[in-house]
């Protein structure tokens, strides 16, 4: 009980740190909020019974401390420049953006992200993929350098797509998927923060649906999916439909936020949109390859009457239903 209460308090302080960082009216206050968030998230990552989680927490601390130090250094230099009426420095802004990109794990500052994810449990992985990105992304929207962000968007989508190949760890695959979606979220900031908020909400729901299924079935590697650990072919089908939804394949829900970004960003920069779509198709390729392998080649079920042997009142059925059929429902509501 005490352990759960302690984790709950650390979780509240972690959220409070992000809120302080977002609502601050100075860069120093934002840096303090990020530090509060970091120091309360480290105890949540650490598990004395698992060496991998302890190693991941140490890696996370080192990278975040480096990014925080860089951020504080740049903020002090910018304050010094304003104090003595120096001109706007393009390179300082680039370094500031780089520090925030390192905090959220965007390419080319991404190498720590899959390594940290490999040693975490699914609940901490979900927090790292979603909540921990809110404060850095909102802070980077205050100082968005368009030319630099174009390069980061393309590189993040490319790395997130290519990095998913030859992965045997599901947590690493979700990490590279998160890097890919970071590129789309950064591109949504070029249009409006409302589109960023919409994309982030959909991404969080899709990630929750697939991570919750992995958590319930206690699987972490691909060979567990290929084996009989998933008793029902229908359950396998739902898992991989969630993968395809996360990749943005119509008619699943994951296509809706991408559709909105493509439609609104095409009038802003059609070249950027074209490259984003082409690179994102790579993720769909290995998602479909994985789906085909698990459902067709490695399937051991030969009795069709076991196809529907899934518990319809599973606690995750509502989230999965929205993940698979949300686009159809939203389209019907819009037409009506």
Average pLDDT along the chain, 336 residues, taken 10 residues at a time: 76 95 92 95 85 90 95 88 64 91 93 93 94 95 88 94 87 94 94 93 92 87 70 74 87 90 89 92 85 67 47 58 74 68
pLDDT of residue 79: 81
pLDDT of residue 227: 65
pLDDT of residue 85: 53
Q: What is the DSSP letter of 306?
A: G
pLDDT of residue 324: 74
Domain of 204 in residue numbering reads as 2-335
Q: Rounded to two decimals, what is the model's pTM?
A: 0.90
Q: Report H helices in the chain.
A: 2-23, 27-45, 51-83, 90-104, 112-118, 122-129, 134-142, 146-162, 170-189, 193-217, 222-226, 233-247, 255-265, 270-292, 317-335
| CA–CA distance, 296 with 43 (Å, rounded to integer) | 43
Which residues, 6+ apart, have CB-to-CB distance to 322 below 8 Å?
A: 205, 209, 253, 329
* Tally of structural domains, the chain: 1
pLDDT of residue 316: 62
pLDDT of residue 290: 78
Q: How many CA atoms lie within 13 A of 316 on its CB side?
A: 21
pLDDT of residue 86: 53
Q: Which residue is it, tokens 């040693």?
A: 119
pLDDT of residue 51: 81
Which residues, 6+ apart, have CB-to-CB distance to 7 below 8 Å?
A: 43, 44
| CA–CA distance, 210 with 243 (Å, rounded to integer) | 7
pLDDT of residue 309: 45
| CA–CA distance, 146 with 272 (Å, rounded to integer) | 12
238 is written with which tokens?
């739902």
pLDDT of residue 237: 78
């Amino acid at each position: 009980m005490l352990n759960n209460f302690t984790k709950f308090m650390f979780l509240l302080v972690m959220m409070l740190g992000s809120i302080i960082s977002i609502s601050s009216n100075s860069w120093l206050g934002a840096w303090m909020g990020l530090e509060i968030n970091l120091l309360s998230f480290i105890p949540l990552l650490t598990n004395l019974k698992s060496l991998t989680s302890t190693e991941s927490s140490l890696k996370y601390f080192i990278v975040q401390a480096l990014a925080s130090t860089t951020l504080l250094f740049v903020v002090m230099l910018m304050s010094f420049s304003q104090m003595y009426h120096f001109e706007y420095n393009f390179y300082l802004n680039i370094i500031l953006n780089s520090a925030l990109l390192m905090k959220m794990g965007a390419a080319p500052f991404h190498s720590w992200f899959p390594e940290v994810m490999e040693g975490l449990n699914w609940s901490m992985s979900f927090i790292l993929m979603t909540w921990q990105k809110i404060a850095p992304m909102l802070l980077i929207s205050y100082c968005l350098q368009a030319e630099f962000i174009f390069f980061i968007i393309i590189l993040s989508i490319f790395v997130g797509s290519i990095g998913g190949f030859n992965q045997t760890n599901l947590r690493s695959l979700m990490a590279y998927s998160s890097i890919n979606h970071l590129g789309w979220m950064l591109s949504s900031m070029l249009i409006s923060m409302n589109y960023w908020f919409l994309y982030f909400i959909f991404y969080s729901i899709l990630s929750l649906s697939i991570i919750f299924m992995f958590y319930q079935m206690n699987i972490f590697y691909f060979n567990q999916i290929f084996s009989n650990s998933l008793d029902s072919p229908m359950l396998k089908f739902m898992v991989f439909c969630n993968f395809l939804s996360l990749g943005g394949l119509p008619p699943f829900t994951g296509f809706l936020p991408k559709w909105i970004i493509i439609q609104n960003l095409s009038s802003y920069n059609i070249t950027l949109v074209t490259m984003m779509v082409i690179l994102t198709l790579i993720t769909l390729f290995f998602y479909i390859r994985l789906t085909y392998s698990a459902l067709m080649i490695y399937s051991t079920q030969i009795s069709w009457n076991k196809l529907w042997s899934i518990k319809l009142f599973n606690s995750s059925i509502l989230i999965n239903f929205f993940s698979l059929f949300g686009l159809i429902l939203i389209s019907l509501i819009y037409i009506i």
